[in-house]
Structure 1
Protein backbone atom coordinates (compact mmCIF):
# COMPACT_ATOMS: atom_id res chain seq x y z
CA UNK A 1 0.00 0.00 0.00
CA UNK A 2 2.63 2.53 1.02
CA UNK A 3 4.74 2.08 -2.10
CA UNK A 4 1.77 2.93 -4.31
CA UNK A 5 0.82 6.16 -2.54
CA UNK A 6 0.78 9.06 -4.98
CA UNK A 7 2.62 12.15 -3.75
CA UNK A 8 0.17 14.63 -2.22
CA UNK A 9 -0.40 18.04 -3.73
CA UNK A 10 1.71 20.91 -2.40
CA UNK A 11 -0.98 23.41 -3.47
CA UNK A 12 -2.48 24.86 -0.27
CA UNK A 13 -6.08 25.29 -1.57
CA UNK A 14 -6.07 21.64 -2.73
CA UNK A 15 -4.78 20.46 0.65
CA UNK A 16 -7.37 22.55 2.53
CA UNK A 17 -10.13 21.14 0.30
CA UNK A 18 -8.87 17.59 0.92
CA UNK A 19 -8.92 18.15 4.70
CA UNK A 20 -12.49 19.48 4.67
CA UNK A 21 -13.66 16.68 2.35
CA UNK A 22 -13.19 14.25 5.23
CA UNK A 23 -15.69 16.01 7.51
CA UNK A 24 -17.36 13.45 9.77
CA UNK A 25 -21.03 13.47 10.81
CA UNK A 26 -19.69 12.82 14.33
CA UNK A 27 -16.40 11.50 15.75
CA UNK A 28 -16.19 9.06 18.64
CA UNK A 29 -13.80 6.52 20.12
CA UNK A 30 -15.31 3.98 17.69
CA UNK A 31 -14.16 6.05 14.70
CA UNK A 32 -10.72 6.45 16.28
CA UNK A 33 -10.47 2.71 16.99
CA UNK A 34 -11.20 1.73 13.38
CA UNK A 35 -8.99 4.42 11.82
CA UNK A 36 -6.22 3.68 14.31
CA UNK A 37 -6.29 -0.01 13.44
CA UNK A 38 -6.31 0.72 9.71
CA UNK A 39 -3.18 2.83 10.26
CA UNK A 40 -1.58 0.22 12.50
CA UNK A 41 -2.18 -2.57 9.99
CA UNK A 42 -0.82 -0.48 7.10
CA UNK A 43 2.32 0.46 9.03
CA UNK A 44 2.83 -3.12 10.25
CA UNK A 45 2.46 -4.48 6.72
CA UNK A 46 5.10 -1.98 5.54
CA UNK A 47 7.36 -2.92 8.53
CA UNK A 48 7.40 0.69 9.77
CA UNK A 49 7.66 1.17 13.55
CA UNK A 50 5.54 4.20 14.40
CA UNK A 51 3.26 5.65 17.04
CA UNK A 52 -0.38 6.19 16.06
CA UNK A 53 -2.25 8.76 18.13
CA UNK A 54 -5.83 9.97 17.69
CA UNK A 55 -7.29 12.49 20.10
CA UNK A 56 -9.72 15.25 20.85
CA UNK A 57 -8.27 18.38 22.52
CA UNK A 58 -8.99 16.98 25.98
CA UNK A 59 -9.04 13.21 25.47
CA UNK A 60 -6.89 10.52 23.86
CA UNK A 61 -9.06 8.11 21.87
CA UNK A 62 -6.38 5.83 20.38
CA UNK A 63 -2.65 5.49 21.06
CA UNK A 64 -0.58 2.53 19.90
CA UNK A 65 2.75 1.56 18.39
CA UNK A 66 2.60 -0.21 15.04
CA UNK A 67 5.67 -2.33 15.83
CA UNK A 68 8.49 -2.36 18.37
CA UNK A 69 11.33 0.01 17.59
CA UNK A 70 10.02 3.54 18.03
CA UNK A 71 12.34 5.95 19.79
CA UNK A 72 11.37 7.44 23.17
CA UNK A 73 11.25 10.96 21.71
CA UNK A 74 8.40 9.86 19.41
CA UNK A 75 5.98 10.87 22.18
CA UNK A 76 7.32 14.44 22.02
CA UNK A 77 6.78 14.48 18.26
CA UNK A 78 3.23 13.17 18.73
CA UNK A 79 2.50 16.16 20.96
CA UNK A 80 4.16 18.63 18.58
CA UNK A 81 2.14 17.38 15.59
CA UNK A 82 -1.08 17.26 17.63
CA UNK A 83 -0.50 20.80 18.93
CA UNK A 84 0.08 22.13 15.41
CA UNK A 85 -3.10 20.53 14.03
CA UNK A 86 -5.26 21.71 16.94
CA UNK A 87 -3.88 25.27 16.93
CA UNK A 88 -3.98 26.00 13.19
CA UNK A 89 -6.68 23.58 12.04
CA UNK A 90 -4.60 22.15 9.20
CA UNK A 91 -2.47 19.09 8.63
CA UNK A 92 1.17 19.39 9.54
CA UNK A 93 1.92 18.69 5.87
CA UNK A 94 -0.18 21.73 4.91
CA UNK A 95 1.85 23.80 7.37
CA UNK A 96 5.07 22.39 5.93
CA UNK A 97 3.99 23.36 2.41
CA UNK A 98 2.93 26.81 3.58
CA UNK A 99 6.38 27.50 5.04
CA UNK A 100 8.35 25.26 2.66
CA UNK A 101 9.48 23.19 5.64
CA UNK A 102 11.28 26.19 7.12
CA UNK A 103 10.87 26.15 10.93
CA UNK A 104 12.44 29.58 11.28
CA UNK A 105 9.95 31.19 8.86
CA UNK A 106 7.11 29.34 10.59
CA UNK A 107 8.19 30.60 14.03
CA UNK A 108 8.84 34.16 12.84
CA UNK A 109 5.52 34.36 11.01
CA UNK A 110 3.67 33.38 14.18
CA UNK A 111 5.94 35.52 16.41
CA UNK A 112 6.85 32.53 18.57
CA UNK A 113 9.73 32.41 21.02
CA UNK A 114 12.11 29.44 21.05
CA UNK A 115 10.28 27.87 23.97
CA UNK A 116 6.91 28.26 22.28
CA UNK A 117 7.84 27.09 18.79
CA UNK A 118 9.39 23.93 20.22
CA UNK A 119 5.81 22.82 21.02
CA UNK A 120 4.90 22.73 17.30
CA UNK A 121 6.20 21.22 14.08
CA UNK A 122 5.84 21.46 10.33
CA UNK A 123 6.68 17.78 9.77
CA UNK A 124 4.00 15.75 7.97
CA UNK A 125 1.95 13.08 9.73
CA UNK A 126 -0.58 15.17 11.71
CA UNK A 127 -4.09 15.49 10.29
CA UNK A 128 -7.21 17.42 11.43
CA UNK A 129 -10.57 15.90 12.29
CA UNK A 130 -13.57 18.01 11.32
CA UNK A 131 -17.19 17.34 12.30
CA UNK A 132 -20.21 18.68 10.46
CA UNK A 133 -21.80 21.61 12.27
CA UNK A 134 -18.78 22.21 14.54
CA UNK A 135 -16.61 25.26 13.95
CA UNK A 136 -12.93 24.44 13.56
CA UNK A 137 -10.94 21.31 14.16
CA UNK A 138 -12.20 18.86 16.81
CA UNK A 139 -9.32 16.42 16.91
CA UNK A 140 -6.07 15.18 15.45
CA UNK A 141 -4.82 11.99 13.84
CA UNK A 142 -1.04 11.65 14.20
CA UNK A 143 1.59 9.17 13.10
CA UNK A 144 5.23 9.45 14.13
CA UNK A 145 7.99 7.19 12.86
CA UNK A 146 10.76 7.04 10.31
CA UNK A 147 8.43 8.26 7.55
CA UNK A 148 8.93 11.07 5.03
CA UNK A 149 6.53 14.02 5.46
CA UNK A 150 4.71 13.39 2.19
CA UNK A 151 4.36 9.67 2.87
CA UNK A 152 3.13 10.30 6.44
CA UNK A 153 0.44 12.59 5.09
CA UNK A 154 -0.50 10.07 2.40
CA UNK A 155 -0.75 7.19 4.89
CA UNK A 156 -3.24 9.11 7.04
CA UNK A 157 -5.27 10.25 4.02
CA UNK A 158 -5.40 6.67 2.69
CA UNK A 159 -6.56 5.38 6.11
CA UNK A 160 -9.37 7.93 6.26
CA UNK A 161 -10.40 7.04 2.69
CA UNK A 162 -10.42 3.35 3.64
CA UNK A 163 -12.52 4.15 6.70
CA UNK A 164 -14.98 6.12 4.57
CA UNK A 165 -15.22 3.22 2.11
CA UNK A 166 -15.90 0.79 4.97
CA UNK A 167 -18.64 3.04 6.37
CA UNK A 168 -20.31 3.79 3.03
CA UNK A 169 -23.68 2.11 2.98
CA UNK A 170 -23.34 0.90 6.59
CA UNK A 171 -26.29 1.77 8.80
CA UNK A 172 -25.83 1.15 12.48
CA UNK A 173 -28.73 -0.67 14.16
CA UNK A 174 -28.61 1.99 16.88
CA UNK A 175 -29.13 4.81 14.37
CA UNK A 176 -31.83 2.86 12.54
CA UNK A 177 -33.91 2.80 15.70
CA UNK A 178 -33.88 -0.99 15.95
CA UNK A 179 -31.45 -3.25 17.69
CA UNK A 180 -30.68 -6.55 16.00
Structure 2
Protein backbone atom coordinates (compact mmCIF):
# COMPACT_ATOMS: atom_id res chain seq x y z
CA UNK A 1 0.00 0.00 0.00
CA UNK A 2 1.10 3.61 -0.49
CA UNK A 3 2.39 5.94 2.22
CA UNK A 4 0.42 6.29 5.45
CA UNK A 5 -1.55 9.44 4.58
CA UNK A 6 -1.95 8.98 0.84
CA UNK A 7 -5.04 7.50 -0.77
CA UNK A 8 -4.49 4.25 -2.64
CA UNK A 9 -5.33 4.07 -6.32
CA UNK A 10 -7.86 1.61 -7.70
CA UNK A 11 -4.89 -0.43 -8.98
CA UNK A 12 -3.38 -0.49 -5.47
CA UNK A 13 -6.70 -1.66 -4.06
CA UNK A 14 -7.17 -4.37 -6.71
CA UNK A 15 -3.66 -5.65 -6.03
CA UNK A 16 -4.37 -5.68 -2.30
CA UNK A 17 -7.62 -7.60 -2.82
CA UNK A 18 -5.77 -10.27 -4.81
CA UNK A 19 -3.18 -10.60 -2.01
CA UNK A 20 -5.80 -11.07 0.73
CA UNK A 21 -6.97 -14.52 -0.43
CA UNK A 22 -8.05 -16.83 2.39
CA UNK A 23 -7.57 -20.60 2.29
CA UNK A 24 -11.08 -20.98 3.82
CA UNK A 25 -13.84 -19.04 5.56
CA UNK A 26 -15.25 -21.32 8.23
CA UNK A 27 -16.90 -20.29 11.47
CA UNK A 28 -13.55 -20.91 13.21
CA UNK A 29 -11.69 -18.73 10.71
CA UNK A 30 -14.28 -15.96 11.17
CA UNK A 31 -13.97 -16.23 14.95
CA UNK A 32 -10.15 -16.11 14.78
CA UNK A 33 -10.25 -13.09 12.44
CA UNK A 34 -12.85 -11.35 14.57
CA UNK A 35 -10.99 -12.03 17.79
CA UNK A 36 -7.74 -10.80 16.24
CA UNK A 37 -9.48 -7.59 15.13
CA UNK A 38 -11.24 -7.11 18.45
CA UNK A 39 -8.06 -7.70 20.45
CA UNK A 40 -6.16 -5.21 18.29
CA UNK A 41 -8.95 -2.63 18.63
CA UNK A 42 -9.02 -3.09 22.45
CA UNK A 43 -5.22 -2.75 22.64
CA UNK A 44 -5.29 0.40 20.51
CA UNK A 45 -8.29 1.92 22.33
CA UNK A 46 -10.40 2.06 19.15
CA UNK A 47 -14.15 2.67 19.36
CA UNK A 48 -15.23 0.45 16.49
CA UNK A 49 -17.61 -2.29 15.52
CA UNK A 50 -16.24 -5.38 13.77
CA UNK A 51 -18.26 -7.70 11.56
CA UNK A 52 -17.63 -10.72 9.37
CA UNK A 53 -20.14 -12.26 6.96
CA UNK A 54 -20.17 -15.34 4.75
CA UNK A 55 -22.88 -14.71 2.18
CA UNK A 56 -25.84 -13.31 4.13
CA UNK A 57 -24.82 -15.10 7.34
CA UNK A 58 -23.13 -12.93 9.97
CA UNK A 59 -20.41 -15.07 11.53
CA UNK A 60 -18.92 -12.47 13.89
CA UNK A 61 -19.88 -9.16 15.47
CA UNK A 62 -18.33 -7.10 18.23
CA UNK A 63 -19.09 -3.57 19.39
CA UNK A 64 -16.31 -2.02 21.43
CA UNK A 65 -16.91 0.61 24.13
CA UNK A 66 -17.72 3.99 22.64
CA UNK A 67 -19.10 2.56 19.40
CA UNK A 68 -22.71 3.35 18.55
CA UNK A 69 -25.62 2.06 16.52
CA UNK A 70 -24.52 4.51 13.81
CA UNK A 71 -21.30 2.49 13.43
CA UNK A 72 -23.39 -0.63 12.84
CA UNK A 73 -25.48 1.22 10.24
CA UNK A 74 -22.35 2.44 8.43
CA UNK A 75 -20.93 -1.08 8.53
CA UNK A 76 -24.08 -2.50 6.93
CA UNK A 77 -24.06 0.16 4.20
CA UNK A 78 -20.40 -0.49 3.39
CA UNK A 79 -21.03 -4.24 3.42
CA UNK A 80 -23.92 -3.96 0.96
CA UNK A 81 -21.51 -2.18 -1.37
CA UNK A 82 -19.00 -5.02 -1.10
CA UNK A 83 -21.69 -7.68 -1.64
CA UNK A 84 -23.03 -5.88 -4.71
CA UNK A 85 -19.71 -5.15 -6.43
CA UNK A 86 -17.38 -7.76 -4.87
CA UNK A 87 -14.78 -5.06 -4.26
CA UNK A 88 -13.85 -3.14 -1.14
CA UNK A 89 -15.99 -0.20 -0.19
CA UNK A 90 -12.85 1.98 -0.44
CA UNK A 91 -12.23 0.70 -3.98
CA UNK A 92 -15.76 1.65 -5.00
CA UNK A 93 -15.34 5.08 -3.41
CA UNK A 94 -12.05 5.65 -5.22
CA UNK A 95 -13.52 4.42 -8.50
CA UNK A 96 -16.28 7.01 -8.16
CA UNK A 97 -13.91 9.80 -7.03
CA UNK A 98 -11.71 9.10 -10.07
CA UNK A 99 -14.80 9.50 -12.30
CA UNK A 100 -15.84 12.68 -10.43
CA UNK A 101 -19.12 11.10 -9.36
CA UNK A 102 -20.68 9.25 -6.44
CA UNK A 103 -21.91 5.71 -6.01
CA UNK A 104 -25.44 7.04 -5.86
CA UNK A 105 -25.08 8.97 -9.12
CA UNK A 106 -23.12 6.31 -11.03
CA UNK A 107 -25.18 3.26 -10.04
CA UNK A 108 -28.47 4.85 -8.89
CA UNK A 109 -28.10 3.34 -5.42
CA UNK A 110 -29.66 4.97 -2.35
CA UNK A 111 -27.17 6.43 0.10
CA UNK A 112 -29.38 5.17 2.92
CA UNK A 113 -28.49 1.60 1.87
CA UNK A 114 -25.01 1.81 0.27
CA UNK A 115 -21.79 3.59 1.25
CA UNK A 116 -18.63 3.81 -0.82
CA UNK A 117 -16.48 4.63 2.20
CA UNK A 118 -13.53 2.55 3.37
CA UNK A 119 -13.89 -0.15 5.96
CA UNK A 120 -15.44 -3.21 4.30
CA UNK A 121 -13.26 -5.67 2.40
CA UNK A 122 -14.29 -8.67 0.30
CA UNK A 123 -13.32 -12.10 1.58
CA UNK A 124 -12.21 -14.42 -1.17
CA UNK A 125 -11.30 -18.06 -0.79
CA UNK A 126 -8.73 -19.69 -3.00
CA UNK A 127 -10.62 -21.77 -5.58
CA UNK A 128 -14.05 -20.41 -4.60
CA UNK A 129 -13.79 -16.65 -5.21
CA UNK A 130 -15.89 -14.10 -3.35
CA UNK A 131 -17.61 -15.65 -0.33
CA UNK A 132 -18.21 -12.79 2.10
CA UNK A 133 -16.79 -9.68 3.67
CA UNK A 134 -15.16 -8.25 6.76
CA UNK A 135 -15.64 -4.72 7.97
CA UNK A 136 -14.89 -2.18 10.65
CA UNK A 137 -16.62 1.11 11.33
CA UNK A 138 -15.77 3.89 13.73
CA UNK A 139 -12.54 5.41 12.40
CA UNK A 140 -11.94 7.71 9.45
CA UNK A 141 -12.65 5.65 6.34
CA UNK A 142 -9.04 5.16 5.23
CA UNK A 143 -8.11 4.02 8.74
CA UNK A 144 -11.08 1.63 8.82
CA UNK A 145 -9.87 0.07 5.56
CA UNK A 146 -6.23 -0.14 6.64
CA UNK A 147 -7.25 -1.76 9.92
CA UNK A 148 -9.16 -4.55 8.18
CA UNK A 149 -6.36 -5.12 5.64
CA UNK A 150 -3.79 -5.27 8.46
CA UNK A 151 -5.83 -7.85 10.38
CA UNK A 152 -6.27 -9.99 7.26
CA UNK A 153 -2.52 -9.81 6.54
CA UNK A 154 -1.68 -10.86 10.11
CA UNK A 155 -4.14 -13.74 9.87
CA UNK A 156 -2.70 -14.88 6.55
CA UNK A 157 0.85 -14.64 7.94
CA UNK A 158 -0.12 -16.80 10.91
CA UNK A 159 -1.92 -19.29 8.63
CA UNK A 160 1.07 -19.71 6.31
CA UNK A 161 3.61 -20.38 9.07
Counterparts of 2:74 and 2:88 in 1: how far apart (Å)? Answer: 14
Please report how far the alpha carbon of residue 15 of structure 1 lies from its aligned counterpart in structure 2 after TM superposition. 0.7
Which protein shows a greater Rg? Answer: 1
Counterparts of 1:131 and 1:40 in 2: how far apart (Å)? Answer: 22
TM-score (norm 1): 0.80
> Are positions 1:128 and 2:135 aligned together?
no
Instruction: Tell me the secondary structure at the aligned position of residue 53 of structure 1.
Output: strand
Match in the other structure for 1:10: 8
Show CA shifts across 1:53-92 (max 9, x none): 0001221111012x21112222211211111111111111
Contact 2:48 2:137 in 1 (8 A): yes
Counterparts of 1:106 and 1:41 in 2: how far apart (Å)? Answer: 33
Change (3 A) 1:13 1:102: closer
Instruction: Tell me the secondary structure at the aligned position of residue 139 of structure 1.
Output: strand
> Are positions 1:144 and 2:137 aligned together?
yes
Once the two structures are superposed, the pairs formed by residues 1-180 of structure 1 within 5 Å of their partners are 6-7=4-5, 10-65=8-63, 67-100=64-97, 105-112=102-109, 116-135=110-129, 137-145=130-138, 147-169=139-161
Contact 1:7 1:154 in 2 (8 A): no
Counterparts of 1:91 and 1:48 in 2: how far apart (Å)? Answer: 21
Counterparts of 1:48 and 1:102 in 2: how far apart (Å)? Answer: 33
Instruction: Tell me the secondary structure at the aligned position of residue 130 of structure 1.
Output: strand
State the superposition RMSD in angstroms: 2.1
TM-score (norm 2): 0.89
Query: Normalized per residue, which structure has more strand?
Result: 2
Instruction: Tell me the secondary structure at the aligned position of residue 125 of structure 2.
Output: coil
Contact 2:119 2:145 in 1 (8 A): yes
Contact 1:81 1:126 in 2 (8 A): yes
Counterparts of 2:68 and 2:98 in 1: how far apart (Å)? Answer: 22
How many residues of Structure 1 are paired with residues of Structure 2 in the alignment? Answer: 159
Structure 2 runs not aligned, ≥5 long: none
